[in-house]
């Protein structure tokens, strides 16, 4: 038990009674330290056990006792809760660089969100944690350079400064819709919980803040405002730079340097969170919210001047409350949301039950059943890193829903025991009736708590009670064996059904694949035929065009030839006429030469005549 408590502590916080209480009488009773089994608890006055008494009209009158790391009663305020639970987590986160986690678990309306986020009058664990963080680091806080962002960005995140983030947000959301940090409460004070950070003053710290939710078993970023239809679900996986450690990829992370900027980011995330009105709560959280604070410790090397970055993360988780559809009066989307919430909390309960068993180190925790348990448990048992310091605050309303509260306590308690009270009976040495409640009280305080039995003056009733108790135990053991056999049989059937489903899926996939291949081949054949037909049509079209062009060229050549022939014939006639004239002139000259006339003389006479 001690090893489990050190690794994973579970606290129970009781909500003060209020006007909306279902029952008039509280069914939870905190046991004083004197009745607990631990001597350390008696010395410190720490209350660790609580008993649950079923209402008189309940069909089961079994009184159960649950053990926790500590039971915080109704009189403790937010400051006391922070000092007992959160401050011990922040100290190793800041001083030793370990990872820490704080989560709240409980029925809807039991005070989970009030514990984490507070109210208009009091701050919650988130605001007080941020205050302690910035007070402890002081002037060591700095911003990352671009090279440092690339060095430590192992989650494919969008990292930006607070001013750039608010500019993006206000372009989507009206500024007046987001509460101002100045209007947030400043109490309870946290000065007494400031952590002394050791080391050289040259060591700087950068703080990256991211907020996301698990809604209907999908992860969504609350710092990237968008419409519900356009929201993109994020993946939780290992990246190349994150190694074996899984991270939520694609988140928007904001570098904050003071409390004002951090509260701005926190208010934006809470404004974006999924809420809805139900019959149990006017503003019911419809998702599990994760507030992640990454501390980047920057140390400059004296040898080469490079900056070494060491990381630690403090995560605050506000889980949605389990609810009954009959009490919450939900329908439609709200009913579906409630189903996803209850399913994820059921898986979380199974993981908690296994992790708190004495053989938890050998048992395999089935945390991959839902996104919630995967986020909470994946990196908690990584052998390569030092385990994180995790605490869960279970909130309970002692006058609320008995069935839901008892179920929540069953799978969140570190240990539990129970006793079935006997009905009223007659004591043989007198006429006085002994009520079942008084007998149960004696048995629970004696046999269950301290290991001794309440002595009576008469041996016969005690013997009868022992025989009845033995018979009841034997019957319960028989029922337990039957239930275990039934569970094993159902698991075998489930495994066989899963195997059958895998075979059917493989056969269907193969059939679909063959069908698709056949269709692809048919389409390819059709496309090839179509391409061949188109090519033939194109060739015929080109051939017709070429024939038309040839005919046009031939027709054009014929007309040109006829015109050229006419010109040639005319030119030939002219040449023939000129040739005939020259012949006549030659004949004339020959005759004159024969007659003795000189051409030169004739030319001279012609000149003289002129």
Give residue 598's pLDDT.
Answer: 59
Q: What is the pTM of this model?
A: 0.66
Spans of the chain, pLDDT less than 50: 1-7, 359-360, 362, 424-462
Which pair of tokens denotes residue 386? 């030092």
Q: How far apart are the first and last CA of the chain?
A: 157
Q: Please write down the HEC assignment for all residues of 153-169.
A: CCCCCEEEEHHHHHHHH
Q: For residue 110, what is the enclosing H or E element?
A: none
CA separation for the pair 112, 131 (Å, rounded): 20
Among all chains, which residue has been given the structure tokens 């995330």?
Answer: 269
Q: Does the annotation place 332 within a ligand binding site?
A: no
Q: For residue 198, what is the enclosing H or E element?
A: none
Give residue 301's pLDDT.
Answer: 80
Q: Residues for the chain: how many in total? A: 610
CA separation for the pair 274, 414 (Å, rounded): 31
The dihedral formed by the CA atoms of 190, 191, 196 and 200, expressed in degrees to the nearest 10:
110
CA separation for the pair 471, 513 (Å, rounded): 61
Give residue 88's pLDDT.
Answer: 94
Q: Does the annotation place 113 within a ligand binding site?
A: yes
Give residue 24's pLDDT.
Answer: 62
Q: Does the annotation place 106 within a ligand binding site?
A: yes
Q: Are strands 415-419 and 63-67 parallel, antiparallel or unpaired?
A: antiparallel
CA separation for the pair 325, 279 (Å, rounded): 9
Give residue 601's pLDDT.
Answer: 58
CA separation for the pair 520, 578 (Å, rounded): 85
Give residue 476's pLDDT.
Answer: 77
Going from the C-alpha of 326 to that of each of 284, 330, 339, 566, the distances in angstroms are 15, 8, 12, 112
Q: Does the annotation place 112 within a ligand binding site?
A: yes
Task: Check if the beta carbon of residue 8 is closer than 8 Å to that of residue 99.
Answer: no
Q: Does the annotation place 466 within a ligand binding site?
A: no
Q: Which of 375, 397, 378 has the alpha carbon at shortest distance from 387?
A: 378
CA separation for the pair 294, 302 (Å, rounded): 25
Q: Does the annotation place 65 within a ligand binding site?
A: no
Give residue 23's pLDDT.
Answer: 58
Give residue 135's pLDDT.
Answer: 95
Task: Check if the beta carbon of residue 266 is closer than 8 Å to that of residue 126.
Answer: yes
Q: Does the annotation place 109 within a ligand binding site?
A: yes
């Amino acid at each position: 038990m001690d090893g489990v408590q050190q690794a994973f502590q579970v606290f129970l916080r009781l909500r003060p009674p209020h006007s909306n209480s279902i029952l008039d009488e509280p069914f939870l009773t905190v046991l004083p330290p004197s009745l607990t089994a631990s001597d350390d608890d008696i010395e410190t006055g720490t209350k660790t056990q609580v008993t649950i008494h079923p209402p008189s009209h309940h069909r089961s009158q079994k009184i159960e006792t649950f053990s926790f790391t500590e039971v915080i009663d109704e009189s403790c305020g937010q400051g006391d809760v922070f000092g007992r639970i959160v401050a011990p987590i922040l100290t190793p986160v800041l001083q030793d660089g370990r990872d820490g986690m704080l989560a709240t678990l409980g029925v809807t309306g039991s005070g989970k969100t009030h514990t984490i986020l507070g109210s208009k009058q009091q701050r919650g664990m988130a605001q007080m944690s941020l205050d302690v963080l910035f007070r402890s680091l002081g002037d060591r806080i700095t911003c990352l350079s671009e090279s440092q962002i690339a060095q430590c960005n192992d989650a494919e995140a969008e990292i930006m400064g607070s001013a750039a983030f608010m500019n993006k947000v206000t372009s989507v959301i009206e500024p007046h819709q987001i509460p101002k940090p100045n209007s947030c409460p400043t109490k309870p004070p946290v000065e007494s919980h400031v952590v002394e950070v050791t080391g050289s003053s040259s060591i700087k710290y950068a703080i990256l803040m991211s907020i996301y939710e698990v809604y209907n078993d999908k992860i969504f970023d609350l710092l990237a405002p968008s419409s519900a239809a356009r929201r993109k679900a994020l993946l939780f996986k290992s990246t190349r730079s994150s190694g074996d450690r899984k991270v939520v990829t694609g988140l928007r992370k904001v570098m904050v340097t003071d409390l004002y900027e951090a509260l701005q980011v926190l208010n934006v995330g809470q404004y974006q969170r999924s809420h809805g009105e139900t019959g149990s709560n006017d503003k019911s959280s419809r998702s599990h919210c994760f507030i992640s604070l990454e501390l980047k410790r920057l140390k400059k090397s004296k040898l080469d001047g490079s900056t070494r970055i060491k990381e630690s993360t403090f995560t605050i988780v506000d889980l949605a409350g389990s609810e009954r559809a009959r009490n919450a009066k939900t329908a439609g989307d709200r009913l579906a949301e409630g189903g996803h919430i209850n399913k994820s909390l059921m898986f979380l309960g199974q993981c908690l039950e296994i992790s708190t068993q004495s053989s938890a180190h050998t048992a395999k925790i089935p945390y991959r059943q839902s996104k919630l348990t995967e986020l909470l448990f994946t990196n908690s048992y990584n052998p390569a890193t030092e385990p994180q310091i995790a605490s869960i605050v279970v909130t309970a309303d002692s006058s609320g829903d008995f069935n839901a509260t008892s179920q929540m306590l069953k799978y969140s308690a570190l240990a539990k025991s129970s006793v079935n009270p006997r009905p009223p009976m007659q004591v043989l040495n007198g006429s006085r009736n002994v009520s079942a409640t008084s007998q149960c009280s004696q048995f629970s305080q004696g046999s269950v708590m301290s290991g001794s039995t309440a002595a009576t003056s008469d041996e016969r009733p005690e013997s009868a009670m022992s025989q009845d108790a033995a018979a009841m135990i034997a019957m319960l053991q028989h029922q337990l064996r039957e239930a275990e056999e039934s569970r094993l049989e159902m698991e075998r059937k489930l495994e066989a059904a899963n195997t059958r489903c895998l075979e059917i899926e493989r056969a269907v996939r193969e059939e679909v694949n063959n069908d698709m291949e056949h269709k692809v081949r048919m389409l390819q054949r059709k496309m090839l035929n179509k391409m061949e037909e188109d090519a033939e049509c194109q060739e015929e079209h080109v051939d017709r065009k070429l024939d038309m062009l040839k005919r046009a060229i031939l027709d054009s050549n014929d007309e040109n030839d006829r015109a050229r022939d006419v010109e040639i014939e005319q030119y030939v006639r002219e040449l023939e006429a000129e040739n005939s004239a020259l012949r006549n002139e030659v004949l004339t000259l020959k005759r004159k030469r024969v007659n003795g006339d000189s051409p030169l003389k004739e030319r001279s006479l012609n000149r003289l005549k002129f």
